[in-house]
Amino acid sequence: MSDNKKQVVRKDAAWHELPVGGIIPAGGTAKEFKTGDWRTIRPIHDREKCIDCMFCWAYCPDMSVIVEDGKVVGFDYDHCKGCGICAKVCPPRVSAITMVPDSEADAETKKEEEAV
């Protein structure tokens, strides 16, 4: 037999004050939080070289590869963490994605980031 007690949890309660097995109905999602601000390197996409194999899209752990009409068009730098998986899985004969230090990103990349 269970002891069904309802507990009221304050909105400002610390994690250690939450009841065991508590439900948090309004949790955040990665989409709501910009998590790419600590990145040190960024992927640069060369549209001319890309064959749209979608390996980068399939392997990106943060779903940061932007695809429109079946073509890779860029990256969501708000969520990209610069792990480099996209560049690693890009076919070597193509090499359409290169990793560049964030501090050396050219003006074009900055424009792409603002447009997304």
pLDDT digits (tens, 9 = 90+) for 5-32: 667 778 898 988 877 775 666 666 667 7
- Is 0.85 topped by the overall pTM? no
Tokens standing for 71? Answer: 């073509």
Cβ-contact 41, 101 below 8 angstroms: yes
Between CA 35 and CA 12 the distance in angstroms is 23
Domains in the chain: ranges and CATH: 34-115 (3.30.70.20)
Nearest in space to 30 (alpha carbons), one of 99, 66, 85, 80? 80
The beta strands (E) that lie in 1-116 are given as 41-45, 65-68, 71-75, 97-101
Model confidence pLDDT, tens digit, residues 28-57: 666 777 888 888 999 999 999 999 999 999
Task: Identify residue 7 by its one-letter amino acid code.
Answer: Q
